[in-house]
């Protein structure tokens, strides 16, 4: 892991740190072609050099979330658009078990969208 990326994760307090690191592992394990970099000061995950999602957190609730780049094209009841036109977020409660199956399902859809654009 690059030093800047490491700092992003390891500067966070628990349970945020563990939750973000778990989300990172879930995303990277979805497909061998997913890579991670730091964009706009947050972890960005790309597939075939196209951004699929980012990790960030809500500063009010302190809940981490996955921000899907083409979320407007993914229909899932847990994805929230808020004021965003293109992106949607999947909020994660760091105090609860992570719903890995839901994340994998949404990631599969995001990867299909990126594969179509390639």
- Region 54-83: what's the mean pLDDT? 94
Per-residue pLDDT tens over the stretch 25-54: 999 999 999 999 999 899 999 998 899 999
pTM, full prediction: 0.92
Domain that holds residue 104: 3-117
Q: What is the CATH number of the domain that holds 66?
A: 3.90.1150.200
Q: How many domains does the chain have?
A: 1
**Collapsed DSSP state (helix, strand, coil) of residue 10:** helix
pLDDT given at position 48:
86
pLDDT given at position 3:
78
**Nearest 5°: phi and psi at 37?**
-145, 175
- Region 96-117: what's the mean pLDDT? 91
């Amino acid at each position: 892991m690059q030093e800047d990326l490491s700092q992003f994760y390891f500067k966070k307090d628990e349970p945020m740190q563990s939750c973000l690191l778990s989300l990172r592992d879930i995303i990277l394990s979805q497909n061998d072609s997913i890579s991670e970099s730091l964009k706009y000061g947050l972890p960005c995950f790309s597939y075939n050099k196209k951004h699929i999602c980012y990790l960030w957190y809500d500063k009010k609730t302190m809940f981490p979330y996955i921000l899907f780049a083409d979320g407007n094209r993914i229909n899932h009841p847990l994805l929230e658009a808020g004021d965003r036109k293109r992106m949607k977020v999947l909020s994660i409660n760091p105090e609860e078990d992570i719903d890995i199956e839901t994340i994998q399902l949404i990631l599969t859809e995001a990867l299909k969208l990126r594969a179509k654009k390639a």
